Amino acid sequence: MRTRTGLIALVAALGVLAGVDGDLARAQSFYEGKTMRIIVGLAAGGGFDTYARVLARHWGRHIPGNPTIIVENMVGAGSLIAANHLYRVARPDGLIVGNFDGSLVLSQVLGQPGIEFASSTSWAPPRRKKSCAP
């Protein structure tokens, strides 16, 4: 009985590893030789910049294909310029990561002018229907 359980566990583990191997190979071939950018919406030397530079220093080793990671500061309007750049200009190809002030999402919901991204559709929780019946 014990041998049969061990054999089933081994077959299951090999099946899982076989499925993961294909995804890792695809990810490695995608990121290999490429440069990722972390766009920081605040000035160099601050907390957001330091956090991004620490990520950039270590992240590449943990991403298949070991891409080069650079930090780009895009200062202005309390990181609104960087957030709008990520929404309008940056290609959604997995090579650009944004690090901007999270209060911009609330500002967008409250209707602050100048915010071009539509966070209300992607950040809002699903609406529940009100019902009197249990």
Helix or strand or coil: residue 45?
Answer: coil
| pLDDT score of 33 more than 70 | yes
| pLDDT score of 74 more than 80 | yes
Residues contacting residue 123 through CB under 8 Å, at least 6 positions apart: 105, 109
Residue type, 118: A
| pLDDT score of 103 more than 80 | yes
Per the model's pLDDT, the better-predicted residue between 44 and 128 turns out to be 44
Whole-prediction pTM value?
0.68
Considering the chain, what is the average pLDDT of its residues? 78
Tens digits of residue pLDDT in 78-87 = 889 999 998 8
Neighbouring CB atoms inside 10 A of 42's CB total 20
pLDDT of residue 17: 45
- What is the end-to-end Cα distance of the chain in Å, rounded? 48
Residue 23 token pair: 């995804």
| pLDDT score of 73 more than 70 | yes
pLDDT of residue 109: 82
pLDDT of residue 16: 47
